[in-house]
């Protein structure tokens, strides 16, 4: 095939002009999208400036009292930076177009070989890492600063360091530059289209899409376990799942998922569905699907979740299954509220719950862990002001808060792929669920943040609700708590401490590998994450783990099922969803789970 001279140049020019037209149109849409952004409460954009003032005061006080130490820090930083600069210059002057040997720690952000082999990129990377180390060290060595404030300062310093990574800028990201060259700039146009689409979808707020929102449909290729909604009120839908065995255990299970997210994290796909696993083991399973709150729920509090959620669901299941007791499960904040409910039932002299299981559940907030920056008055005051204005805590605020705890993985890396590389977000079920958030009622949010997280009233036996003063010691039913070793939301040592304070004489604690989600959604067939077991809960958390029996690559699911089986009674004929008084309303996954957060 012959090519007419100039054809390629004409084609390239036409493509370039077309891309320029696209960029001009996208730029106009970008400005329009940003203009729709509503000002957010300033308190939600960072800490009280006094924090930095206190840090500066402590730093200068250290300078005055121990100038040698501060000077040593500066000299060490200057020395490393200058030494690296001179090494690079010497190599370049000698005609060596290669960087000095890189013996530093590996960082997955710098996986492109050019970060090690190309002098320009290697120099930028090394200077960044040297500066990052200096910033972290200077914060760590500040004396005379309150430990809580130091923890907050360390967090915000890390955010600055992560934000300034060279991978976050087009001119210093070799992956983005290579992609732009390979596609003749098409990747940049696609990236801008992704950016504008995300801004337009969120009224000018930049919420990075983590997954392809068109890849999944509830009830079709995700959340497909068969069941029926057998009850509905303004707080919840109660789903009863269809049995897969001819006989089932007499005592049914009620699973309360967190209302911060949606319940189908436990039913993503058949192969990793905890809901299917429970049903397949021969249990009658009910799962609560919480309402996605709007402004009309501003006055809804924890008492409404307890009364119209937990207590109502427990009574309904006992009635439908014709039993006196149920086995209850609570995940995350729903586990915290299950503990509150058990304390309330104890004080009322009622015993409708035979056993309780807690998934990654905090009940003692004396150590706020990684959430320390978000649980001080400046941030909580901002949350309260936001709630007073809108009646709810909007999903994107919570999502952004959680994401910044792992900003590299959940913000910057997805943004780079989408906006710099022009890639379509992946069709990943877990990330799809993560982006399908829920709003929180205003009253409940403040009760949780002020009464439980900040003041730790439940652990102190001082949490007042529904006419009772609730106490963690009242949780006296047989219980099992499953925590996750890498959990950055409910740190396992904090979960363990709460279990230690509970009043039950029969307590089992299981520590799974991995994090808040993967540590729980850990099917046995995968043989991926193991778990620790140790019956001695009088030990400190560190000693408990050190002397625990480790089961490598073994899911905790069978351990829990064996424990639960002993508390579930004899075998009875399998129960179909509903009864004569509670006809099925609609198939699972129901209607409430389909409502998107505003």
Handedness of CA 134, 140, 146, 149 (dihedral sign): positive
- Helix segments in 289-404, DSSP class H: 302-305, 312-321, 333-348, 377-390, 395-404
Q: Who contacts 512 (Cβ-Cβ below 8 Å, separation ≥6)?
A: 482, 483, 484, 485, 519, 520, 522, 529, 530, 531, 556
3-state class (DSSP) for residue 589: coil
How large is the angle between the packed helices 119-140 and 147-163, nearest 10 degrees? Answer: 170
Q: Is 5 exposed, middle or buried (0-12, 13-18, 19+ CB in 10 A)?
A: exposed
Do residues 125 and 88 lie in contact, with contact meaning Cβ atoms separated by under 8 Å? no
3-state class (DSSP) for residue 234: coil
Catalytic site residue 586? no
Provide the 10 A C-beta neighbour count for residue 504.
18
| Catalytic, out of 332, 453, 495, 586 | 332
Q: Where are the beta strands (DSSP E) in 455-498?
A: 463-465, 468-470, 479-484
Q: What is the DSSP letter of 472?
A: G
Question: CA separation (Å) from 57 to 46, 70, 304, 469, 597?
Answer: 19, 14, 46, 42, 43
Q: What is the DSSP letter of 295?
A: G
Q: Hey, which residues are catalytic here?
A: 332
């Amino acid at each position: 095939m012959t090519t007419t001279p100039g054809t390629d140049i004409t084609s390239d020019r036409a493509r370039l002009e077309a891309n320029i037209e696209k960029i001009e149109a996208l730029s106009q849409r970008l400005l329009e999208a940003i203009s729709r952004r509503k000002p957010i409460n300033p308190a939600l954009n960072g800490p009280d400036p006094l924090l930095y003032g206190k840090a500066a005061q402590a730093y200068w006080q250290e300078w005055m009292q121990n100038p040698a130490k501060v000077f040593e820090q500066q000299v060490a930083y200057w020395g490393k930076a200058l030494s690296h600069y001179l090494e690079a210059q010497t190599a370049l002057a000698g005609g060596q177009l290669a960087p000095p040997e890189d013996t530093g720690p590996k960082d997955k952000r710098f996986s492109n070989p050019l970060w090690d082999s190309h002098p320009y990129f290697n120099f930028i990377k090394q200077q960044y890492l040297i500066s990052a180390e200096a910033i972290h060290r200077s914060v760590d060595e500040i004396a005379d600063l309150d430990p809580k404030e130091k923890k907050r300062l360390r967090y915000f310093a890390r955010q600055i360091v992560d934000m300034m990574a060279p991978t976050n800028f087009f001119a210093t990201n070799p992956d983005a530059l290579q992609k732009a060259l390979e596609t003749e700039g098409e990747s940049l146009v696609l990236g801008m289209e992704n950016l504008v689409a995300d801004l337009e979808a969120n009224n000018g707020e930049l919420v990075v899409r983590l997954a392809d929102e068109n890849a999944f449909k509830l009830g079709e290729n995700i959340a497909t376990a068969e069941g029926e909604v057998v009850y509905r009120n303004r707080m919840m839908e109660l789903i009863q799942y269809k049995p897969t065995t001819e006989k089932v255990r007499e005592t049914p299970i009620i699973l309360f998922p967190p209302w911060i997210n949606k319940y189908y994290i436990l039913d993503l796909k058949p192969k990793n569905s905890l809901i299917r696993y429970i049903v397949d083991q021969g249990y009658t399973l009910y799962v609560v699907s919480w309402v996605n709150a709007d402004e009309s729920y501003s006055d809804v509090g924890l008492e409404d979740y307890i009364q119209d959620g937990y207590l109502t669901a427990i009574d309904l299941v006992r009635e439908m299954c014709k039993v006196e007791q149920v086995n209850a499960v609570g995940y995350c904040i729903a586990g915290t509220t299950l503990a509150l409910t058990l304390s309330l039932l104890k004080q009322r002299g009622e015993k409708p719950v035979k056993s309780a299981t807690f998934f990654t559940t905090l009940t003692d907030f004396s150590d706020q862990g990684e959430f320390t920056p978000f649980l001080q008055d400046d941030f909580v005051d901002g949350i309260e002001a936001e709630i007073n204005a809108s009646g709810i805590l909007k999903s994107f605020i919570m999502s952004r808060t959680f994401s910044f705890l792992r900003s590299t993985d959940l913000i910057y890396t997805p943004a780079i792929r989408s906006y710099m590389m022009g890639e379509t977000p992946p069709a990943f079920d877990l990330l799809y669920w993560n982006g399908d958030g829920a709003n929180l009622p205003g009253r409940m949010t403040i009760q949780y943040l002020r009464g439980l997280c900040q003041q730790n009233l439940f652990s102190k036996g001082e949490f007042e609700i529904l006419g009772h003063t609730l106490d963690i010691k009242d949780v006296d039913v047989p219980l099992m708590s499953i925590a996750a070793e890498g959990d950055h939301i409910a740190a396992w040592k904090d979960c363990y401490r709460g279990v230690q304070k509970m009043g039950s004489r029969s307590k089992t604690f299981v520590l799974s590998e991995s994090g808040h989600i993967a540590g729980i959604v850990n099917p046995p067939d995968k043989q991926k994450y193991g778990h620790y077991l140790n019956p001695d809960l009088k030990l400190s958390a560190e000693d408990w783990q050190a002397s625990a029996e480790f089961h490598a690559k073994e899911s905790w699911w069978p351990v829990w099922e064996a424990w639960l089986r002993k508390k579930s009674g004899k075998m009875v004929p399998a129960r179909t969803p509903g009864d004569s008084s509670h006809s099925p309303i609609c198939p699972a996954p129901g209607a409430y789970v389909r409502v998107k957060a505003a």
